[in-house]
A and B are shown apart, each in its own frame.
Chain A
């Protein structure tokens, strides 16, 4: 950073020292304005997202899966979209779920809010609502992720002692493990799938502690993608990473994993199987990602241009110095 007044600077130096406030202002504009305009962006879902979608779609209807949800308002942008798209799929396929948080006391409340939001949009489109106790259960929060996962891996029921909820039929609160959702579920292997929706390193902790005791899929934020990718597909069968991942899922919910995809496999009777999975065409599949993804382009563009300007400036300055 040169210290002389801008007036005396050469073009090269100017280009290298654009004042921060200006950069920031441009960023604000570029991330605000496009939000008011519907834009359509082509998309090619990546493998990890496809595997996630296929895994969730392969869970038999009516069975109960376990969800660990460790995100709060601060990562609403990514985790919120992830969780809601997951909810949409589960509710449409009538898959029951028990959701718990490992570490963050607010997570359960955030989850409840987002479930009720999805529920409302279902009611609007005339579908039946998803009832607590009958269709899903909140197991609340366990302090300290390491300990929590250690205990759950050991035995799910004893890990959540004295958790009670009011049956949908009303009356006094009863043990959640007597609910239609969790009846007869005691160990991790009783659940066909565990989905970890997280914005923190509880993703890794879960992998460390559960160690293949249950089939695990994860929905993580963009920043955790690279690290979590280490565990895909060995320890994590399906992986949704950040906004792009959510956009993938929303795309897949619309079109399914296309049977016209050359990579789909026919079995001996020529029936499509393997990766081909149907979607929910026509239903409300577009969520946060569809809204944000186009705007992301402008932010990226700004970053790239800023870096380019800086470098061009550097070369110009070098040239001038050479003269």
Chain B
């Protein structure tokens, strides 16, 4: 039997083993679950050196020798300070000095927090910009965006420069949704005013439409992955692998 086929069979068995949980929690699932966890953490132990520490800590620290014409790099010894910092984390289990473990944690959290100012605007600035949509039509005739069928570019631009009634309406709905959802998430204001209560209720309903749409497109992906699994089991493993069909 070809090596590929053996590999395929291993994969298929593991897949079926994990699927068996759909019927009920059973020994087979338990076995593959633990194999899975074992392999995963084993892989992590490998990757932590080969993928992370080696290339982003060790190599820059000790540098590289010049070998067959490739210029070497000097070592930057200050990287060594990161090791003791990391070690401080291991005090977490000590009764007296567990506070030391907060130092590496503090560094990680600090680095993350510091980025947030920049991140916020990079991420939401353009969205803010995109939300500023004109809601007053500049042309009432036609009411809808006219076709640009085979028109010269200039005219197309002229058409695009206008805000049509249909566009304006959609934009109004867009804005209402955005604002009512936003106001739904105000926590520190008493919603005494009838109007505010109505808005937040509307906000909730519009949210549900949004969630519905999300559900629709997510379902597509999940089913695709299942189909791909089935393809793997039936076509790749059984049909092509074991039965050797093309």
Contact = CB atoms under 8 A, between A and B. Distances in A.
A36 B234 CA distance: 9
Given A31-B223, A141-B51, A234-B130, A76 B228 contact: yes
Interface in A105-154: 105, 141-143, 146, 150
Contacts of B174: none
B220 A234 contact: no
A273 B156 CA distance: 12
B123 A207 contact: yes
A141 B52 CA distance: 9
A21 interface: yes
Contacts of B152: 266-268
Nearest to A267: B153
Nearest to B154: A268
A175 B70 contact: yes
Contacts of B217: 222-223, 225-226, 241-242
Interface residues of B, number: 55
Given A32-B234, A303-B219, A262 B129 contact: no
B50 to A, nearest CB: 8
A266 B235 CA distance: 47
B133 to A, nearest CB: 12
A207 B151 contact: no
A21 B23 contact: yes
Nearest to A226: B214
B22 A77 contact: no
Contacts of B23: 21
A230 B147 CA distance: 26
Chain B interface mostly helix, strand, loop or mixed? Answer: helix
Chain A interface residue bracket vs B: 35 or more
A21 B22 contact: yes
Contacts of A146: 112, 115
A208 B225 contact: no
B227 A292 contact: yes
A274 B130 contact: no
A274 B148 CA distance: 12
B122 A207 contact: yes
Given A143-B56, A244-B220, A268-B154, A235 B126 contact: yes
A125 B69 CA distance: 39
B153 A20 contact: no
Contact of A172 (B68, B115, B148): B68
Contacts of B62: none
A234 B226 contact: no
B82 to A, nearest CB: 14
Interface string B190-225: 000000000000000000001001100111111111
Interface of B: 22-23, 47, 50-52, 55-56, 59-60, 64, 67-70, 73, 112, 115, 119, 122-123, 126-127, 129-130, 147-154, 156, 210, 213-214, 217-231, 233-235
The 8 closest A-B pairs by CB, nearest first: A222-B221, A77-B228, A299-B223, A105-B51, A172-B68, A211-B122, A262-B149, A222-B220
Given A150-B115, A222-B221, 9 more contacts: A31-B223, A36-B235, A105-B51, A162-B64, A172-B67, A208-B119, A223-B222, A243-B220, A267-B152
Interface of A: 20-21, 24, 27-28, 31-32, 35-36, 74-78, 80, 105, 141-143, 146, 150, 161-162, 164, 172-175, 204, 207-209, 211-212, 221-223, 225-226, 230-231, 234-235, 241-244, 262-268, 273-274, 288, 291-292, 295-296, 299-300, 303
